[in-house]
Amino acid sequence: TMLKKVLLGSLGAVLVLTAGILLGHFGIQRGSTTPDWHLSHDRSLVPMCLSRELTKVPHMATSPGDEKTVQYMLKRWQDPDTGLDQAWREEYKVYLSFPDPNTPNKVTVGDPSDAVLYTAREKEKAYSSDQEDPEVVQPYAAYAPAGHPKGRLVYANQGKPSDYFLLNQTLDLTGTIAITRYGGEGRAGKAINAAPYGVIGVLVYTDPWDINDGKMSDNNETYPYSWYMPPSGVERGSFNTHYGDMLTPYLAAKDDTYRIPEKNITGIPPIPTQPIGFEDAYALICDVKLDIYNREELKNSANVMGVIRGSVEPDRYVIYGNHRDSWVHGAIDPSSGTSVMLEVTRVLGRMVKQGKWRPRRSIIFGSWGAEEFGLIGSTEYTEVNNLNQSNVIYKIPVYIISNATLRASGSPSAQSVILKASKQVKTPGSDSTSVYDNWIRYFNRTSPAYGVIPNVGFLTGAGSDYAAFIHFLGITSMDISYTYDRTKTRARIYPAYHTAYDTFDYASKFIDPGFTSHQTVARTAGNVLMRLADSLLLPFNCSDYAETLEGYLNKAMELNTVLEYPVPAPISEPLQNAVRNFRSAATRLDQLVRDSDLANETPLKVRRINDQLMLLDRAFLDPGAFPDRYGFRHVIWASSKAGQATFPGLADAYTRARSTGLDSDWKEAHRQLSILIQAIQGAAHTLGDAI
């Protein structure tokens, strides 16, 4: 066999891979054997990476700390003994937003004579030297405009359109400042939704009920005594709705690239906005003044790239990416994922340098810059590189946000490879329970084909660096993390998220003591990566995609989204036929694979099947499907305001048409249905025999 033995283990809660590999002249004929996975133990390196390099200083995008992490990544990936075949930096000139370091943003309460009665904190309370670092950026709303609004404070819940509509029924919102809590609406949306009602400023805070299970005291309840956010903690963030560099839409942000005028940017707050801690949110009353001094700059931001070239199909790529920049120290987001990726590359690099192993397909590693400002580094990479016909999959960030269970999301066709890998790795603290068996206890669903299985979520919306890959390019993608037991807390994410408290101390005490979850995620992610890069046949299952489409169709029928159109022809039947055709095509391709001795077939037959599997998600792209939604072309995975597990464009259009009754809205619903039917039919043809 091509792959005689692959050994997975852990070094310091990470991954060690040792492999003995025999490559024939035509390795494509010899790569069908599933790896054997054996584990060894040493627990030193990941905590060392986290503490010594990745979380030592704040490393916000383009800061001196960020440049230090760039140099560290390059040093590791260019190491003569454990580095990759090649590593380099790619520079982009991107549009970022920062607070003025000399004139901090302020939130004050004043009386009618403008005397200041109360001033909100400019920086979070220091519990250790980490928060005292001069490079800790003041909490701010990136891309919110500068300004000095003063007005009566109104509570606007989550800042959703319905919240402002309801308020406006009883209050004149003109000239007011809205205070909103995180959740329910995107960051920028809280201000965008407010402006039409005459609101002149917005405050955003994290409610302790949403993140802390109601805990509020730093005397004994919150950090530094537990994982809960302390009262002064503030979630920073990018307040924009689009992803990528905003001045160069659909173009890579190079020095000479055309840039649109700043006044033409959309999807950012039109009014001054500022995040605050819940201790200040509870103290604010009456008239509030915001003094916001944010400013925008063009700054050079770097991606760090590396590659291990494939031995048989070097023109087919598996991309493993993780963003590098953080708002402050970023021990969890993103450094937990960066440290795992560094260890994976170190061990794979050593095997390559020693001549013991080389993957069938090329593996590209990406350390993205400026993710926190709107997925900029990864998006610019997709805009400058032609990935459409050669990229197999994008394997997206690994995060360790607690130590209870694995959690994964991905394209349906990638479900099977994640599940198989999880069965071969043991859960932390157990020699008998697999990650799969533990995972199924926390997140599960009933599959018509498999029964009860762990639930692999969908990559809807643009929550991380997968956005440009799956939504714009249609590249099969996945996300793997370790998370907390959601039956024991209401926290929507780990409480130190985007605050000055996301430090090595916090991670080692409250997130993953002993870093055993880092080890487990690394071994699982490494298992998946090896399968993607080395399997003769790509480990994708198109029948799992058919099951998802059938589930979406059933939900659509349940919601009557294809039954009540005021048009003459019955148009639910074509959608049902399209889904049935997709199922038939998937079944035929599965049968072809089962009936073929692929290890002894012509390489072109294997290549053709792999291309069908690889290009499946591309078939669901439609450039005209969502003209008002930047970067979204995938008709299955775009996010939906309808909040239902069904076809997003159709569900949103139908919901709007039912609400307004306008003929134009019903026509848009019919258009969305037609787009969907043709995309599914096209995907079915992708899986069929060549004409």
pLDDT tens for residues 97-124? 999 999 999 999 988 888 999 999 999 9
Q: What is the DSSP letter of 34?
A: P
In whole angstroms, give the CA distance from residue 379 to residue 368.
Answer: 9
Are 278 and 216 contacting, i.e. CB atoms less than 8 angstroms apart? yes
For residue 4, pLDDT over 50 is answered with no
SS3 531: helix
Mean residue pLDDT of the chain comes to 89
Q: What is the mean pLDDT of residues 280-290?
A: 90
Which residues are CB-neighbours of 459 under 8 A, at least 6 positions away?
Answer: 409, 410, 411, 466, 470, 477, 478, 479, 637
Please state at what angle helix 572-595 crosses helix 603-614, rounded to 10 degrees.
150
SS3 630: coil
Which helix (H) or strand (E) is 381 found in, with range?
Answer: helix 376-384
For residue 651, pLDDT over 80 is answered with yes
Q: What is the mean pLDDT of residues 80-93?
A: 97
Q: What is the mean pLDDT of residues 574-592?
A: 95
- pLDDT band for position 23 (50/70/90)? very low
What pLDDT does 498 receive?
98
What pLDDT does 347 receive?
85
What pLDDT does 271 receive?
98
Domains of the chain: 14-91+299-534 (3.40.630.10), 98-295 (3.50.30.30), 542-687 (1.20.930.40)
Tokens 């043709």, residue? 678
565 or 595, which is more confident: 595
The token duo for 532 is: 């993607």
Residues with catalytic function: 371
Q: What share of the chain is helix, strand, coil (3-state, %, to 5)?
A: 35, 20, 45
Q: Closest Cα to residue 502, out of 237, 280, 275, 302?
A: 237
Q: How, if at all, do strands 405-410 and 391-400 pair?
A: unpaired
In whole angstroms, give the CA distance from residue 443 to residue 462.
Answer: 22
Q: What is the mean pLDDT of residues 146-172?
A: 97
Order of strands across the sheet that contains 201-205:
116-119, 106-110, 287-291, 150-155, 177-181, 201-205, 273-276
pTM for the whole thing? 0.91
Q: What is the mean pLDDT of residues 46-56?
A: 70
pLDDT tens for residues 417-433? 999 999 999 998 888 99
For residue 44, pLDDT over 60 is answered with no
What pLDDT does 153 receive?
96
DSSP E strand stretches across 484-606 = none
What pLDDT does 511 receive?
94
The count of residues in the chain is 691
- pLDDT band for position 24 (50/70/90)? very low
What pLDDT does 388 receive?
66
CA dihedral 415, 416, 419, 422 (to 10 degrees): -110
Are 511 and 484 contacting, i.e. CB atoms less than 8 angstroms apart? no
pLDDT tens for residues 119-154? 999 999 999 999 999 999 999 999 999 999 999 999
42 or 349, which is more confident: 349
In whole angstroms, give the CA distance from residue 585 to residue 579.
Answer: 10
In whole angstroms, give the CA distance from residue 629 to residue 632.
Answer: 6
For residue 28, pLDDT over 70 is answered with no
In whole angstroms, give the CA distance from residue 329 to residue 57.
Answer: 6
